[in-house]
Amino acid sequence: MLIRTTDPFRDLDRVAQQVFGTTNRPAVMPMDAWREGDRFVIEFDLPGVARDSIDLDVERNVLTVRAERVARNGDWESLAAERPRGAFSRQLVLGDNLDLDRIEAGYADGVLRLVVPVAERAKPRKIEITHDPESRTESPTAITA
């Protein structure tokens, strides 16, 4: 006879694995994003990832970040394996007000940092009003009947 007992912790663990991933199927790479004046800064946490394995692509307004953390090779015995390995990717849809041709990228201490400037056309600007002698406004004339 098969009896199914409900275990709320098993259900919670299943949901957590779907949201945060597992070592066999990692979740998306964590990121922070903020605006500093006329630029946006995006940071991705990629500890243990070699800089050569990171690939950045921009197609239209979609930024794709791909990275890979490879497993160790050699004569050793694993005692614990909690850090996810394998390929990671994440896509961000960037707004039309950003200058995607001038994205700067740097990688240090396991953090990939992208700086995306605001496009010149999207920056607020003042429009100067000058005196134009050609466009004179006529004063209204009185019409009598």
Residue type, 18: Q
pLDDT digits 0-9 by tens, 19-69: 555 555 555 689 999 999 889 999 999 998 999 999 999 998 899 999 998
CA distance 14 to 8: 10
* Domain boundaries, given as residue ranges, for the chain: 25-71+82-122
pLDDT digits 0-9 by tens, 57-93: 999 889 999 999 887 777 888 788 777 788 888 999 9
Any idea which architecture 25-71+82-122 has in CATH?
Sandwich (2.60)
pTM to 2 decimal places: 0.65
pLDDT digits 0-9 by tens, 113-123: 999 998 877 66
The residue with greater pLDDT, 16 or 81, is 81
CA distance 96 to 86: 32
Q: What is the DSSP string of 28-76?
A: PPPEEEEEETTEEEEEEE-TT--GGG-EEEEETTEEEEEEEEPPP-SS-
